[in-house]
Structures are given as structure tokens and as C-alpha cells.
Amino acid sequence: MRGYRGIKYTLFICCYVFWVVSAGLIAVGIYAKIAKEKDVVDTLTVDPALLLIVVGSVTFLITFLGCFGALRNATCLLKTFLAILVAIVLLQIAAGVVGYLFTDMVMERTEQLMMKAIVRYREDPDLENAIDFIQKKFQCCGVESYKDWSQNVYFECSDTNPSLEACGVPFSCCVNLQNQTVLDTMCGYGVQELEETSAAEDVYTMGCLEKTIWWVKNNLLLVGGLSTGLLLLEVCMIGLAAAQISWIKKVQKRERENSVRSQWERKDSYWFPAFADFDDE
């Protein structure tokens, strides 16, 4: 019985932690959506707030099944939770295999998504903040180079562009931004008209796609450790859910057997006294 309680409450605690985290993600996503301008058009691929809400909602529902099923010994909920978790693990493994076998296709798709984000840079405050964070964190600019910002209508480098930011890049591309005490949002103006060697004095010229790949390669142990840890935790939760389901079934089977045995004993108690009285006569 102690082993069963250990399995039950360990599964409940694991699901509860993910449940609280997913609720936090939903809250942050909803707050970001409310704080946005109402005329912003959202898409799941490039909207961080919408992505947080969707991921948080899915995780919330899945972990709710695990929490409630573990606490109430509900095999139906536990089986649903187990099936969904197995499907997620299989999808993660499949995504890793596909990413390894079709690296070029994945990179091309990633490049397209990043370029789409650049095009919508000024349309979504959350997306704008996310891009600025990435460019400052990885010290990069654009997707492949700083001239990719010409794909944005505000930074397009053409004579017909009336924007004050024409031929420029966002301030998050600037090299000396970290050493400045006063934020200079005009530091990237006009750098697209410069050659790469000249532009490198003011802004980062390497694209964020290459810098991200470089960062992943130099932090393989960290990335691999986090991925493996998450996968092992999911496998552990699958094992706990399967163990609790098996234990519940054993208890239910034992109760049925005891119920049948008690019924036979009651029947015997009705028959044997009658036979005893007949023998006495």
C-alpha cells in the first residue's frame, strides 16, 4: 500500500508542477494580448503571446487529466493522460529524427519564419521585443545579414521609401548598445547603404540564424541535457501513470474476487443449515 501511495502522489506532484507552470504561461499570454493594440493581426507562428496561450492551454488540460486522475484513481482519465503523453514523446522523437535527417529543409523553414518575423517587426509589440532580445543576446542582425531588414517596409532601402528609418536597422543591432547609458534608437540609421566592413563598426552584421546555430553547437551539452531531462521526466510520468493504472486494476480485480467469494459464502450459509437439520431428523 505504501508503494501505491508513493506512485500516486509522485505522479500528482509532477503533474501539479506542470499544471501551475502552464497556468502561469496562460496568464502571461493573456496579459500580453490585452496589452496589445486591438488592430494587430496575430498568427501562431510569429506571435509570442498567442503561442504562450496555446502551449499553456494544451499543457494545462493534459496535466489536469494527470492530476485529477491520480488523485481520484480514475483509470479513464489516467489512460487518456497516458495516451496523450506517449503521443507527445513519440512526436518529439520523430521531430528529432526528421530534424536530423532533413536538416536543410528544417533550416529553410526556420529561415522563412524568421524572415516573416522581420517583415512584421513593427506590427506586433511582443514580436518586436522578442526580436530585439534575440539580436542583443546573440549579437546579430537580420536573418542572414543586416541587409535583410530591407524586407521590412520601414527599413526598406529604396529611394521611394518615405520612412525616416529607410536603409537602417533596429537599435538592437548596434554594437555599442551595451556600453551606453543612454539608449540611442537612431544608431542603426543608414547602415544598409554601407559595405559590410564599414557597417561592422556600428552594427552587428552577422545574421541571427547563423549565430543561433553557432550557439547551439557550442552549447550542445546544455541543450542536449535539457532535452534529455524533459524526455526522461515525461517517460517517468508515463511509467508512474501505467503503474497506478495497473495497481488500480489489481485492487478492482481483488475486490471483485472478494465480492464473488462473499456471495458464495452467503449462499452456502443458506444451504448447509438446512442439510444439517435434515440429517438430525
Give per-residue pLDDT as tens, 198-209.
Answer: 888 889 999 999
pLDDT at 281 over 60: no
**275 is a domain residue:** no
pLDDT at 207: 92
**181 is a domain residue:** no
**56 is a domain residue:** yes
**111 is a domain residue:** yes
**161 is a domain residue:** no
**152 is a domain residue:** no
Give per-residue pLDDT as tens, 217-241.
Answer: 888 888 788 888 888 988 999 999 9
- Rounded to an integer, the average pLDDT of 171-188 is 74
Give dist(CA 246, CA 244) in Å, integer.
Answer: 5
Q: What percentage of the chain carries pLDDT values higher than 70?
A: 85
* CA angle (254 as vertex; 251, 257 as ends), nearest 5: 155
pLDDT at 141 over 90: yes
**270 is a domain residue:** no
Residue from 91, 104, 120, 51 nearest 213 by CA? 104
pLDDT at 41 over 60: no
Give per-residue pLDDT as tens, 152-173.
Answer: 999 999 888 888 889 999 999 9
pLDDT at 179 over 60: no
The number of distinct structural domains making up the chain is: 1
pLDDT tier at 95 (50, 70, 90 boundaries)? confident
**272 is a domain residue:** no
Most confident of 29-33, 140-144, 183-187: 140-144
- Rounded to an integer, the average pLDDT of 92-117 is 86
Q: Which residues of 154-177 are buried (b: 16+ CB within 10 A; e: fewer)?
A: ebbeeeeeeeebbbbbbbbbbbeb
pLDDT at 112 over 50: yes
Give the pTM: 0.69
Stronger pLDDT, 96 or 241, i.e. the higher one: 241
User: Which domain does 35 fall in, by range?
Assistant: 2-145+206-242
Take residue 70 and report the three cell numbers written for it.
491520480
